[in-house]
Amino acid sequence: MNPELRHALGERLGKPLRCARGLGGGDINDAYQVTLADGSQLFVKTHQNPPLGMYEAEARGLRWLADAGAIRTPSVIALSDARPAFLALELITPAKRAAGFDETLGRSLAALHAFGAPSFGLDHDNFIGRLAQSNEVADDWASFYWTSRLEPQLRLAVDGGSIDAATRSGFEALQRVLPDRVGAAEPPSRLHGDLWGGNLHVDDAGQPALIDPAVYGGHREIDLAMMRLFGGFGERVFAAYSEALPLSPGAERRVALYQLYPLLVHVNLFGGSYVGSVKRALSGCA
């Protein structure tokens, strides 16, 4: 940890730092386990030049999830979006998964979704990874999913040369039938928004905890579709979820539709190796 960040943290926390140990595993941020002079510990993520407002948006997202009281998230301790930018969070020390962990996770996600959201969208924009994520409120889910999710990422991928004209035409065809494909009307759910296995942690009691959200109000099946996209979640999670909050008919047919958004995000974050997956998912929506 560089001296400037060390000083800024100490100033913001009102306590000097004893030591900081670098942690690996992040694609975007540098991360540290920090021990303060009084022996307390916290988790700190930092970036040399983050998008403006990125850490503030993440902090708001963590609090928004915590408000549901359904699943643990780390408490926000301090943040700065000015250089040196950082987000200081409660350190969640992992333990062995408790018995029934998967079932607890499934029921907790169902409770989070059922807690609901005021609208499709959110009262502020945020980020998914380092990409801006618009949350402009829409009257219905199909409109929101196209206007604030698929279309911005598609445009970015087309402008970047990753998506060809034929694939773009396929998305335009999907737009025309999207209201008939999104499933039965449901009230907006409180979504994590970036729910892959790396954003699931085990806390010190062996219970589930979620980190790194990209929150908004939306259709709950998009969280579940992303969970299936990259693996890391057992079938007992989905079974417990469905028992607590049954899915509407045809949910399995909509998995590809709701994987399109995270796949486009991955094209724009990590490159063209995900284009084939986008095309396959798009074909699955036909």
State how far the Cα of 188 lies from the Cα of 120, in Å rounded to an integer. 6
Q: What is the pLDDT of residues 133-171, one digit of tens each?
A: 999 999 999 999 999 999 999 999 999 999 999 999 999
pLDDT of amino acid 161: 96
Query: pTM value?
Result: 0.95
The alpha helices in 67-150, defined as continuous H runs, are: 101-115, 141-144
State how far the Cα of 20 lies from the Cα of 16, in Å rounded to an integer. 11
pLDDT of amino acid 122: 99
Q: What residue ranges of the chain have pLDDT lower than 70?
A: 25-26
Q: Map out the domains of the chain with their CATH numbers.
A: 3-90 (3.30.200.20), 101-284 (3.90.1200.10)
Note whether 125 and 57 are within 8 A (CB).
yes
State how far the Cα of 278 lies from the Cα of 276, in Å rounded to an integer. 5
Note whether 151 and 143 are within 8 A (CB).
no
The strand pairing partners of 43, in sequence order, are 33, 89
Mapped onto helix, strand or coil, the DSSP state of residue 241 is helix
pLDDT of amino acid 26: 65
Q: Which residues are known to be catalytic?
A: 194
Sheet holding 76-80, edge to edge: 17-23, 30-36, 41-47, 85-90, 76-80
* Sequence letter at residue 111: A
